[in-house]
Amino acid sequence: MKVKKFILVIIVILLIIALFGIKIKMQKVAELGQGEEIGIDKEITKVKNVSITTIYDNYQYNPGLKTGWGFSCLVKTENITLLFDTGGDSETLLSNMEKLKILPSEVDIIVLSHIHGDHTGGLKGFLEKNSKVKVYLPKSFPSSFKTDVESEGATAIDVHEPIEIEKGTYTTGELGVLIKEQSLIINTEKGIIVITGCAHPGIVNIVRKAKEITNENIYLVLGGFHLGGVSDSNLKIIIADFRKLGVEKVAPCHCSGDRCRELFKEEYKDNFISNGVGKIIEI
């Protein structure tokens, strides 16, 4: 009899702990208000207009702008102005923004793809110009990085699962094993745009995940494909995978590699976009 009572007490205690944990998590989500740890469990929304400007890249499009090893682009929709990655240094980033007549104060949100310096190096200098932003970063980032972001006055938001950042704009959530990375998804009337920083988890894996999350056609894949030095045979397999996934247009830059860009251009022809610093894509 005593054993049964003891077991019953243990069960009650475990139930109380479980319910308390659920309550705390729900409270945390309510207080946060930005969707930390929340998957996309509602209808996927779309944007009507989007403009993407490559602000920082090692490939040049506009000869009047500085190049540098890294990547950053500005995404503008009718809902938000978002900076995806910040390049390798703030001097180049801010100089190019000024020449492109983009004010730091226009930016509402920053999304960082992964921890490497050629994608996060311009952040500190940018926050000195505008700290009133939300910075969405992979949950795997060191706590010291998040502390530094918040010490500048910005709001750091951990991302692990796919979430909706704003209407029609999503993150894939953290992908990969050794190097965790998130990519950006913008859902347009023409299909989704997938923007990658360095594609460490594999460019095909990222594109496939984006399609799985949204269940939408893929209009454009843009950014670093991480294919420098990859053999022609493997590049052709990747290009074939893009075709199988229904990717309509491509705009590789940064770490994609010259040969990658050449072969994608051969395959995609007019649907290949020569991307580099200063390129503006409007949809």
Q: What is the pLDDT along the chain (283 residues), one digit of tens a residue?
A: 454 554 554 554 555 444 444 333 323 332 333 333 334 556 889 999 999 999 999 999 999 999 999 999 999 999 999 999 999 999 999 999 999 999 999 999 999 999 999 999 999 999 999 999 999 999 999 999 999 999 999 999 999 999 999 999 999 999 999 999 999 999 999 999 999 999 999 999 999 999 999 999 999 999 999 999 999 999 999 999 999 999 999 999 999 999 999 999 999 999 999 999 999 999 9
Does 216 reside within a domain?
yes
Does 8 reside within a domain?
no
Does 104 reside within a domain?
yes
Does 220 reside within a domain?
yes
Q: Compute the distance between CA of residue 234 and CA of residue 225 in angstroms, rounded to an integer.
A: 13
Q: What is the pLDDT of residue 279?
A: 99
Does 25 reside within a domain?
no
Q: Compute the distance between CA of residue 100 and CA of residue 119 in angstroms, rounded to an integer.
A: 20
Does 147 reside within a domain?
yes
Q: Compute the distance between CA of residue 80 and CA of residue 2 in angstroms, rounded to an integer.
A: 63
The residue whose two tokens read 């745009």 is 193
Give the CATH number, domain containing residue 81.
3.60.15.10
The residue whose two tokens read 């976009």 is 273
H or E stretch covering 19: helix 2-32
Give the sign of the dihedral formed by CA 164, CA 166, CA 167, CA 171: negative
Does 79 reside within a domain?
yes
Q: Do 191 and 248 meet the contact criterion of CB atoms below 8 Å apart?
A: yes
Q: Do 277 and 96 meet the contact criterion of CB atoms below 8 Å apart?
A: yes
pTM: 0.85
Q: What is the pLDDT of residue 43?
A: 80
What's the domain count of the chain? 1
Does 69 reside within a domain?
yes
For residue 224, give its domain range.
Answer: 44-282
